[in-house]
Every structure is written in C-alpha cells, then in structure tokens.
Amino acid sequence: MGSITKSLFLIGVLAFTVGCKNSKKEPISKVETENNITIDLQKQIDDCEAQLEISVPKLTDLTKHPRLIETNETEWKQVPNHKLIWTSGFYPGILWYAYHATGNERWKEEAIKRTEVFEDFKNITEHHDIGFMMFPAYGLGYEIGGKKEYKDILLTSANSLASRFNPNVGTIRSWSNKMHPRWQQHITIIDNMLNLELLFWAAKHGGDQKLYDIAVTHAETTMEKHFRPDLTSWHVLEYDSINGNVLNHHTKQGYADDSRWSRGQAWGVYGYTMVYKETKDKKFLDFAQKITDKYLSLLPEDMVPCWDFDVAHDPNEEKDASAAAVVASALLDLSTFVEKKEDQERYYNAALKMLKSLGSDKYSAVGKADAFLLHSTGAKSLGHEIDVALIYADYYYIEALDRLRKMQEKK
Ligand code: GLY
C-alpha cells in the first residue's frame, strides 16, 4: 500500500471507529443505597448486551418474534408476528432500550428492522393488546430512536384501541367473546391498564382529547371495580355491556377465580404509577401506593413472587420473574413521584433489591439460555409457559435497568 493510500485507509478506519463509538455511554459506577444495597448496574446492562449478541444473529426470520424459552432449553421459541399474538413488540422494545442504555448503534438498526415489520397492526380492533404490541416498538422508536415518522402509526393505533371503549361500562373491552367463550359480555382484564400508555401518548402528540378521557375513565372504573377490599386485583371482570354492572369476577391465568395472580397485581402497580405520571392526579398516586404496598407485603425474601400469591405457601410452585421485572420498573418511577422521603427510599430500595435478585445467578439466564431472565410463569392454569424465560420479563427488566441508569446519570 502506498503511503497516501495507507494514510487515507487509516483516516477511514479512524472515522469509522469514532462514528461507531461516539454515542457509546460512559460506564455507570455501582449503585448503593443508604441501606447498603449495592448493585453492579453496569454489569447487569453488559450482561443484557452480551445476551443480545448471542440471540440477535440467531433470530433472522423477521416474520416471527421470540416469545419464550422452555424449561431446560437454551434458545428462543419463536411465534409469528400475528395480530392475535400480543408479544410482537417486546423484542424490538428490548433492542430500543439496549440502544438507549449502551449507545451502541447496532441495537438501533436491529430495533428498526424488527419494528417496521408489523406496521399493519395499527389497525387491530379485535383486542386490547395493540398497546402492548405497538408502544414498546413504535413508541420507543419515536422516543428513543427519534423516528418521528412513527407518529401517525401510533395515532392510528391509539384510535384503534379507543374504538373498544364502552361508555356504558367505562372501560376498554380487552378480549373478544369469540376467542374467550367463557364470557358473553364486556370483558376487561387488569393487564389492560398498560395499554392506556398508548392513549396518553397519542393525546399528547396531536391525538384527540377523547383518547386522554378514555384512558382516565378506564383507570377510574378499574380502580373502583377491579380490586378487592384487601387491595388485590381480580384478573378478569365481566361487565354487563348495557348497564355496566359487574357480572363476574374471574381469572384466566391465575390459580383460581378468587386467587391473587401475581402478574395481575404487577400490571396494576405499573398501570396506576403510569396513570399518575400522565395525569398528575393525586388519587391515582394514592392508589398506586396502596396496591404497591399490598404487593410488597406479599413478597418472599428474594423479592420475586410465586406465580400466584395464593399458592405461594407450596415451595414446589413456580416463580414469576416477569412480575418482579414489571414491578421493579414501576417502583423506580414511583420512588420519584411520592413526597415523603421515607416512601421514596422504601420504593427505591425495593426496586434495587428486585433488580439485584433478578440479576443474580438464581434468575439470570447468562451462561444458561439466550434470554436475560429465567423462571417466569406465563399461564400455569392453562398448562403452558411454566418456569420459562419470557420475552416480556426481559423487556421490563431492561426498561428498569435503563430507568435506573438514567436516574444515576441525573445524580
Ligand atoms: N397480558 C398477558 C399476560 O400478562 O400474560
């Protein structure tokens, strides 16, 4: 190589290297609380990135997405990106958070590719899961990836979701009766709280005010009807579609109709924390605190619940790490909303303990399988997804790590 060619080559390599690395995030030092809880946040983020280095090259068929890793298996089982499968948004969402937490452009490119394959889902009106599907992919793409062109897709998605609102009941109808024939009328499940984030986002970004109003009414009705006097949540409520009366309190994924399904309570904790963030209405903060305190009071030492609190006395019953990841992420936000310092510390410390436990050898999938986390339970009562890795456990886990990272940066 001549000296001019060599210099140009070196300048090229240097420019490429700087171009790739200049957005990389500075490492975060260990996070310690006043109660001596220490977590190595950077290591936990690095572990996630290392797991993505393994899974991304294996997951090349973009018409599918990873859903679970069966017990004792190592690779993701993939399911089609189909409008009736609620989990399509989580893997792209994980990649958006990985990009945000590391600054590595590779994850942004992968996130874009895996987001843009299901734009058509913006027209889903058959169920409520459109929020779970579109927000982690397109919503984070807009917020983290700067993909402003996703705005119209999100607005259309929000309108599709809002079309399922029944003003006689005051909630969005979660499921169709055809797919869930046990129920004949208007079904709302506690999980639906998470979908409200899409409506709030749309109302703030040029969508109709009615999207905001629907979200608030859904949250108010659910607060009034969906919780037992002891502040635990039912899973499925069937309402009379005409007069709005509650006809039945049931479950689909819990142990029994009247039992306390852990992830249901987790969706409530996350949902009301998010509704307070969006509305700043104190009644939602008070409620978020009450149901959070209930959830925390039911936890075992390692902060990861059994899949249903009502079978937790049996040591053979499986854990649900996904519930712990959902709540850890919510608690970091909640700790910044509450006024009293003791509450701030209580929620922050609990979140750190959960993240530390999830990142430990007991729950981490590092060296064992291609996920971030093991030991989640999706639907034991239906006989599947028992003690597995679940894509949404990983999603809320990396969301929580990224939230904690941002909190540290602010400090
Ligand atoms: N939203 C469905 C579930 O929590 O399994």
CB of 51 closer than 6 angstroms to any ligand 1 atom: no
- Using the atom order of ligand 1, give the atom closest to the CA of residue 322: 4
CB of 253 closer than 6 angstroms to any ligand 1 atom: yes
Residues 312-351 have pLDDT tens digits of 999 999 999 999 999 999 999 999 999 999 999 999 999 9
Q: How confident is the model at residue 17 (pLDDT cuts 50, 70, 90)?
A: very low
The answer to whether 47 and 101 are in contact (CB under 8 A) is no
Strands (E), 173-277: 186-189, 236-239, 246-250
Q: Which residues pair with 308 in a beta bridge?
A: 261
What is the rounded average pLDDT of the residues 112-133? 97
Q: Do the domain assignments include residue 3?
A: no
CB of 378 closer than 6 angstroms to any ligand 1 atom: yes
pLDDT of residue 34: 75
CB of 128 closer than 6 angstroms to any ligand 1 atom: no
The answer to whether 111 and 95 are in contact (CB under 8 A) is yes
Q: Do the domain assignments include residue 175?
A: yes
pLDDT of residue 315: 96
pLDDT of residue 15: 42
Structural tokens at position 74: 């190592």
Q: How far apart are CA 204 and CA 139, in angstroms?
A: 12
> How many domains would you assign to the chain?
1
Q: Tell me the average pLDDT of the chain.
A: 94
Q: Which residues are catalytic?
A: 129, 191
- Using the atom order of ligand 1, give the atom closest to the CA of residue 194: 1
Residues 238-288 have pLDDT tens digits of 999 999 999 999 999 999 999 999 999 999 999 999 999 999 999 999 999
Structural tokens at position 82: 């189909």
pLDDT of residue 410: 87
pLDDT of residue 115: 98
Q: Do the domain assignments include residue 46?
A: yes
CB of 254 closer than 6 angstroms to any ligand 1 atom: no
Structural tokens at position 404: 């904690």
Q: Which residues pair with 379 in a beta bridge?
A: 384
pLDDT of residue 13: 43
- Using the atom order of ligand 1, give the atom closest to the CA of residue 263: 4
Least confident of 25-34, 54-63, 371-380, 402-411: 25-34
> 191: CA distance to ligand 1 center in Å?
6
Q: How far apart are CA 173 and CA 162, in angstroms?
A: 9
Q: Closest residue (by CA) to atom 5 of ligand 1?
A: 378
The DSSP-derived string for 279-325 is H--HHHHHHHHHHHHHHHHT--TTS--BSBGGGTTSTTSPB-HHHHH
Q: Do the domain assignments include residue 169?
A: yes
Q: How far apart are CA 80 and CA 63, in angstroms?
A: 6
> 112: CA distance to ligand 1 center in Å?
25
| CATH number for position 276 | 1.50.10.10
The answer to whether 327 and 275 are in contact (CB under 8 A) is no
Beta strand 389-390 pairing with 236-239: unpaired
Q: Do the domain assignments include residue 19?
A: no
> 37: CA distance to ligand 1 center in Å?
31
Q: Which amino acid is at 144?
A: I
Residues 205-237 have pLDDT tens digits of 999 999 999 999 999 999 999 999 999 999 999
CB of 191 closer than 6 angstroms to any ligand 1 atom: yes
Among 191, 233, 307, 380, name the best residue to mutate to test ligand 1's pocket (greatest count of ligand atoms within 8 A of Cβ): 191
| Burial zone of 16 (CB within 10 Å; 0-12 exposed, 13-18 middle, 19+ buried) | exposed
CB of 385 closer than 6 angstroms to any ligand 1 atom: no
> 212: CA distance to ligand 1 center in Å?
23
Q: Closest residue (by CA) to atom 2 of ligand 1?
A: 191
Rounded to two decimals, the pTM is: 0.94
> 49: CA distance to ligand 1 center in Å?
25
CB of 141 closer than 6 angstroms to any ligand 1 atom: no
* Phi/psi-derived region of residue 366, left when phi > 0, alpha when psi is between -120 and 50, beta in every other case: beta
- Using the atom order of ligand 1, give the atom closest to the CA of residue 253: 5
> 337: CA distance to ligand 1 center in Å?
26
Largest CA distance in the chain: 84
Residues 147-156 have pLDDT tens digits of 999 999 999 9
> 267: CA distance to ligand 1 center in Å?
9
Taking 70 as the threshold, does the pLDDT of residue 4 lie above it?
no
CB of 263 closer than 6 angstroms to any ligand 1 atom: yes
The answer to whether 129 and 86 are in contact (CB under 8 A) is yes
Q: Do the domain assignments include residue 171?
A: yes
- Using the atom order of ligand 1, give the atom closest to the CA of residue 378: 5
Residue recorded with tokens 């210099």: 7
For residues 149 and 16, the model is more confident at: 149
Q: Do the domain assignments include residue 5?
A: no
Q: Do the domain assignments include residue 178?
A: yes
Specify the DSSP class assigned to residue 68: E
Helix (H, G, I), strand (E, B) or coil at 163: coil
pLDDT of residue 75: 98
What's the chain's length in residues? Answer: 411
Residue ranges making up the domain that contains 179: 26-410
The answer to whether 59 and 66 are in contact (CB under 8 A) is yes
Structural tokens at position 58: 């294996």
Residues 159-207 have pLDDT tens digits of 999 999 999 999 999 998 888 889 999 999 999 999 999 999 999 999 9
Q: How far apart are CA 115 and CA 140, in angstroms?
A: 10
